[in-house]
Amino acid sequence: MAVLVLAEHSNAALNDVTAKTVAAAKAFGGDIDVLVAGHNAGGAAEAASKLVGVRKVIHADGASLANGLAEALEALVVPMMTGYDAFFAPATSVGKNAAPRIAAKLDVMQVSEVTAVHDASTFERPIYAGNAIMTVKSSDAKKVITVRGTAFKAAEGAGSASIETVAAPAGPFKSAFVSEELSKSDRPELASAKRVVSGGRALASAEQFNQYILPLADKLNAGVGASRAAVDAGYAPNDYQVGQTGKVVAPELYVAIGISGAIQHLAGMKDSKIIVAINKDEEAPIFQIADFALVGDLFKIVPELTGKL
Amino acid sequence: MKVLVPVKRVIDYNVRPRVKADQTGVDLANVKMAMNPFDEISIEEAVRMKEKGLATEIVIVSIGPAQAQETIRIGLAMGCDRGILVQTDAAVEPLAVAKILKAIVDVEQPGLVIAGKQAIDDDANATGQMLAALLDWPQATFASAISKDGDTLKVMREVDGGLQTLALQTPAVVTTDLRLNEPRFASLPNIMKAKKKPIDMKTPADYGVDITPRLSVVKVTEPKKREAGEKVADVDALIAKLKSVGAI
């Protein structure tokens, strides 16, 4: 058996979720090859070759792969799949975009956001925003899987896989990259941060969100998140959103500030190791899952906490 | 340009799903059902395109039980022109849904399909991408803004690091994210008018699509419960606790 794992990367560097996807592929079994599809992505290919348990890295490089677009990834991956039993992609915006397209071309029903791999055909995944966990058995000859990175632990150690270079698909494609606005931040990336500080609607404005949440995040060297309510109200950008429809995080420490704890938010953070909730409403559902609950006025508590840390 | 909008009838957004005691699934008996929230956003976008003169006709499609007609009627009241119900009581996986939608697209020849990025029941996030693959059309998932320039669609997408803009040749598939728009409520006169709009009744067999599931459900269970922890009196107590568990 052999598995092709799609690497998540920024061309220069490999994203941590790749190693976690390799860990999921390991539970599936067989040889593991990692596909680094990008443009000037030598750095990411080099890093992928050092992941433990990888047979080889396939490095496809070209302008058509610069932005991780689904059509180019489909053109690259589908012909390669004759040699593999499974395609594993991290459930990132690139993986979620491309994997179902590849699955349909292979006439395979994808298993999305897998949180456990029992054997080569049995997988666990959350449904209903994590309110239920479904175990499914796939009857497809090949499997297409997206992996929820927070559910897997990257293997320790270092490998030394060979790197094979292949051509990028030439196109032309019917979709073209126009532009990108990436949020610039020196803070740890939300999805992989060891600590996360999140703000909710109680912050009441973008100014107060920045004034209260950011200094505490900086003090803790934490990534910054937000509830959907805060994002919808315009207090925080959308890529801060933690929840069913945003990012799923599972840091060592999650600090929820002024977040009531709607089901869809809890779906995105309830696997965090330690949860701290600060909220003035004693009845807020967030307190039912928090390890440490502090009831009170966030506008007094947060500056005090930031000052004393 | 004709626009096709697929919609799904799911458990209402505000209802907490209950896992059945025999672990065969989630209990849907006597539970309030509604249109998948992302699909409401798709309809709103299609209706706005029609109001701007960019779309000529909006066809709303659902694949599901007879009651999914009610879901289609909501879309008709919001401004869709006609409906198609592909009736089945079976659970239809995204791959089979995409195959049925492809067959409908082959007949209807829309210039654009706007679908929700995921249904809030199975959270698969796959149907739109699969449909685009089967049609060999370009796709833009997780859309937060759509504009049209001649035959080209410009779509701004929500991606992990921020926003990405793509230019798509039409015909194309776009899937909608939360911030694309705020769906309108259907007015009473429009609800009355929608009752006169036609809904075509079809079955998966009409389109020659085999809907046999590829995934069989072994079991559905409750997620691990997280116990509520302890209340701390003040900031100093919180810091002491965090230090004691090694979190800071």
* SS3 assignment for chain A: CEEEEECCECCCCECCHHHHHHHHHHHHCCEEEEEEEECCCHHHHHHHHCCCCCCEEEEEECHHHCCCCHHHHHHHHHHHHHHCCEEEEECCHHHHHHHHHHHHHCCCCCEEEECEECCCCEEEEEEHHHCEEEEEEECCCCEEEEECHHHCCCCCCCCCCEEEEEECCCCCCCEEEEEEEECCCCCCCHHHCCEEEEECHHHCCHHHHHHHHHHHHHHHCCEEEECHHHHHCCCCCHHHEECCCCECCCCCEEEEECCCCCHHHHCCCCCCCEEEEEECCCCCHHHHCCCEEEECCHHHHHHHHHHHC
pLDDT at position A185, please?
Answer: 80
Residue A308 class from Cβ within 10 Å (0-12 exposed, 13-18 middle, 19+ buried)? Answer: exposed
Alpha helices in chain B (DSSP H): 37-51, 68-78, 94-108, 127-135, 188-194, 235-244
C-alpha B73/C-alpha B78 separation (Å) is 9
- For the ranges A58-62, B10-14, B18-22, B191-195, the lowest mean pLDDT is seen at B10-14
Interface list for A 241-260 with B (CB within 8 A): 244-245, 247, 252-253
For chain A, first and last CA: distance in Å? 51
C-alpha A14/C-alpha A22 separation (Å) is 13
Task: Please name the residue that has the structure tokens 């429009």.
Answer: B190
For residues B37-59, b (16+ Cβ closer than 10 Å) or e, as one string?
Answer: bbbbbbbbbbbbbbeeebbeebb
Tokens describing residue A279: 């909220």
φ/ψ (deg, to 5) at B64: 170, -165
Q: Which residue of A has its CA nearest to B154?
A: A178
Would you put residue A270 in left (φ > 0), alpha (ψ -120 to 50) or beta?
alpha
Tokens describing residue A68: 């991780």
Q: Mutation target for A interface from B118, B157, B166: give the one with most A CBs within 10 A.
A: B166
Closest CA relative to residue A34, chosen from A168, A161, A123: A161
At B178, the pLDDT band (50, 70, 90 cuts) reads: confident
Tokens describing residue A237: 């950008």
Q: In sequence order, what are the residues at sequence separation of 6 or more whose Cβ sits closer than 8 angstroms to the Cβ of residue B107?
A: none
Chain B nearest-CA distance from A57, in A, is 24
Residues of chain A contacting B171 with CB distance shorter than 8 Å: none
Contact A32, A52 (CB under 8 A): no
pLDDT at position A184, please?
Answer: 77
φ/ψ (deg, to 5) at A264: -70, -25
C-alpha B80/C-alpha B94 separation (Å) is 23
Contact A96, A114 (CB under 8 A): no
Residue pLDDT tens, chain A, 309 long = 999 999 999 999 999 999 999 999 999 999 999 999 999 999 999 999 999 999 999 999 999 999 999 999 999 999 999 999 999 999 999 999 999 999 999 999 999 999 999 999 999 999 998 889 999 999 999 999 999 999 999 988 899 999 999 999 998 999 999 999 987 788 898 988 999 999 999 999 999 999 999 999 999 999 999 999 999 899 998 889 999 878 889 999 999 999 999 988 998 999 899 999 999 999 999 999 999 999 999 999 999 999 999
Chain B nearest-CA distance from A209, in A, is 18
pLDDT at position B13, please?
Answer: 84
% of chain B surpassing 70 pLDDT: 100
Tokens describing residue B130: 């699969």
Across residues B156-160, what is the average pLDDT?
Answer: 93
pLDDT at position B101, please?
Answer: 98
Q: What is the pLDDT of residues B215-229, one digit of tens each?
A: 999 999 999 888 889
Tokens describing residue B125: 């996030």
Q: Which residue of B has its CA nearest to A228?
A: B178
Q: In sequence order, what are the residues at sequence separation of 6 or more whose Cβ sits closer than 8 angstroms to the Cβ of residue B68?
A: B8, B9, B62, B85, B87
Residues of chain B contacting A239 with CB distance shorter than 8 Å: 158-162
Amino acid identity of residue A48, one-letter, is A
pLDDT at position A157, please?
Answer: 87
Across residues B159-178, what is the average pLDDT?
Answer: 95
Closest CA relative to residue A181, chosen from B164, B144, B154, B159: B164
Q: What is the pLDDT of residues B91-144, one digit of tens each?
A: 999 999 999 999 999 999 999 999 999 999 999 999 999 999 999 999 999 999
C-alpha B133/C-alpha B135 separation (Å) is 5
C-beta neighbour count of A114 within 10 angstroms:
25
Across residues B49-67, what is the average pLDDT?
Answer: 97
Residue B241: strand, helix, or coil: helix
Closest CA relative to residue B49, chosen from B105, B2, B118, B115: B2
C-alpha A180/C-alpha A67 separation (Å) is 9
C-alpha B7/C-alpha B47 separation (Å) is 14
Contact A196, A186 (CB under 8 A): no
Counting every residue written for chain A, the total comes to 309
Tokens describing residue A3: 């598995």
- Cβ within 8 Å, pair B129-A309: no
Contact A108, B133 (CB under 8 A): no
Q: Mutation target for A interface from B164, B169, B211, B245: give the one with most A CBs within 10 A.
A: B164
pLDDT at position A239, please?
Answer: 86
For residues A195-217, b (16+ Cβ closer than 10 Å) or e, as one string?
Answer: bbbbbbbbbbeeebbeebbbbbb
Residues of chain A contacting B102 with CB distance shorter than 8 Å: none
Antiparallel, parallel or unpaired: β A56-61 and A122-127: unpaired
